[in-house]
């Protein structure tokens, strides 16, 4: 298989993978909103008891749970964008008129 064909195929695969990651992120928006409401309730509960900085999740205080959730969402968005960008670049490289 020529390198040109390989670039086109790999580009299409990466475009699909990036699109799948971004689609997944879009489909879980409702669940994330529901989860953020629960996080606020948990934070208020801990705050009322004076425990907000004593209870931790992954080494971070419970008061930072919204940031932890946002970081996960940002990671998936970046991953999807990077996959699609590399896919488009490979797809373009496969369509260049030069022979490689």
pLDDT in tens, 30-70: 777 777 777 777 777 777 877 766 666 667 776 677 777 78
Which of 97, 82, 80, 100 is CA-nearest to residue 24? 80
Number of domains observed in the structure of the chain: 1
User: What pLDDT sits at residue 43?
Assistant: 74
User: What pLDDT sits at residue 23?
Assistant: 92
**Does residue 100 fall inside a structural domain?**
no
Confidence of residue 12 (pLDDT cuts 50, 70, 90): very high
Say what percent of the chain tops pLDDT 70. 88
* This prediction's pTM: 0.67
For residue 31, give the H/E element and its range.
helix 29-49
**Does residue 47 fall inside a structural domain?**
yes
**Does residue 74 fall inside a structural domain?**
yes
For residue 60, give the H/E element and its range.
strand 60-61
Q: Which domain holds residue 23?
A: 3-95
Q: Is 86 exposed, middle or buried (0-12, 13-18, 19+ CB in 10 A)?
A: middle
Q: Is 56 exposed, middle or buried (0-12, 13-18, 19+ CB in 10 A)?
A: exposed
């Amino acid at each position: 298989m020529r390198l040109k064909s390989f670039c086109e195929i790999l580009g299409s695969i990466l475009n699909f993978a990036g699109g799948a990651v971004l689609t997944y992120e879009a489909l879980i928006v409702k669940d994330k909103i529901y989860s953020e409401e629960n996080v606020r309730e948990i934070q208020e509960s801990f705050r009322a008891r004076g425990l907000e900085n004593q209870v931790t999740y992954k080494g971070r205080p419970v008061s930072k749970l919204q940031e932890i959730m946002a970081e996960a969402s940002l990671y998936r968005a970046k991953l999807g964008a990077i996959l699609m960008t590399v896919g488009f670049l490979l797809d373009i490289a496969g369509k260049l008129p030069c022979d490689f």
